[in-house]
């Protein structure tokens, strides 16, 4: 069967590719709604341009191919390096140092996930909260969870004798090693 997909490109983004990839990797293989939600809550400057790019790709898919956004996911997102703007700053003794202001080219491909619809609730959900994995509890932990006490907890704590107290070391070195860093 023919794979249906839509693409969008963002060129000359004035954010370094390394920083842009951090935002781009967040949305790989996610449904469109979940990817959009993650980008909205992302605390990176590159999140906003990538969100616009994602919305553009969805609009391309809707208008040109008549695809349903509820069944689509981010198939591929690639961040390549664009041209660098070279600037100079003065340095000591009349010299100069080069400053490279890097740019990025972002390519986004969204595709239709086969066999998934909004009615099934897999691709159309806006926020997906994954359930926590339940730990296997031992018998003691089960009793503690229910509020029961163990037999050894009912016993009275034994009084410590004077000989069991920790002995403090005397001298200069133990004091030095106990100090916190200033």
Residue range 47-102, pLDDT digits in tens: 999 999 999 999 999 999 888 888 899 999 999 999 999 999 999 999 999 999 99
CA gap 83, 94 in Å, rounded = 28
- CATH number of 89's domain: 3.90.470.10
Number of domains the chain contains: 1
- pLDDT of 157 over the 60 cut: no
What mean pLDDT comes out for the span 13-36? 95
Q: Is residue 132 part of a domain?
A: no
Q: Is residue 168 part of a domain?
A: no
Q: Is residue 136 part of a domain?
A: no
Q: Which residue has the higher pLDDT, 166 or 100?
A: 100
Q: Is residue 140 part of a domain?
A: no
Q: Is residue 110 part of a domain?
A: yes
Tell me which residue of 37, 79, 72, 75 sits closest to 58, measured CA to CA.
72
Query: Which pTM does this prediction carry?
Result: 0.62
What mean pLDDT comes out for the span 20-36? 95
Confidence of residue 178 (pLDDT cuts 50, 70, 90): low
Please give the C-alpha separations between residue 46 and each of 11, 79, 115, in angstroms, as whole numbers. 13, 11, 32
Question: Poorest-confidence range of 6-10, 33-37, 58-62, 131-135?
Answer: 131-135
Q: Is residue 160 part of a domain?
A: no
Q: Say how many C-beta atoms besides its own lie within 10 A of residue 30's C-beta.
A: 17
Q: Is residue 154 part of a domain?
A: no
CA gap 113, 73 in Å, rounded = 7
Domain extent at residue 67? 5-120
pLDDT at 119: 45
Please give the C-alpha separations between residue 159 and each of 149, 153, 154, 156, 168, in angstroms, as whole numbers. 21, 15, 15, 9, 20
Q: Is residue 38 part of a domain?
A: yes
pLDDT at 67: 87
Question: Poorest-confidence range of 18-22, 26-30, 176-180?
Answer: 176-180
Structure tokens at 38: 């993650």
């Amino acid at each position: 069967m023919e794979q249906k997909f839509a693409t969008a490109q963002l060129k000359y983004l004035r954010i370094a590719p390394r920083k842009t990839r951090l935002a781009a990797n967040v949305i790989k293989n996610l449904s469109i709604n979940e990817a959009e939600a993650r980008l909205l809550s992302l605390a990176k400057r590159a999140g906003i341009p990538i969100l616009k790019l994602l919305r553009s790709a969805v609009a391309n898919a809707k208008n040109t191919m008549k695809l349903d956004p509820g069944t689509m996911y981010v198939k591929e997102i690639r961040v390549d390096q664009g041209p660098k703007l070279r600037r100079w700053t003065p340095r000591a003794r009349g010299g100069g140092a080069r400053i490279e202001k890097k740019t990025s080219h972002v390519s986004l491909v969204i595709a239709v996930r086969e066999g998934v619809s909004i009615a099934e609730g897999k691709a159309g959900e806006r926020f997906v909260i994954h359930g926590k994995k339940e730990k296997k509890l031992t018998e003691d932990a089960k009793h503690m969870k229910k509020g029961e006490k163990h037999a050894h907890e009912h016993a009275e704590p034994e009084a410590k004798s004077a000989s069991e107290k920790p002995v403090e070391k005397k001298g200069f070195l133990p004091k030095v090693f106990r100090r916190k860093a200033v």
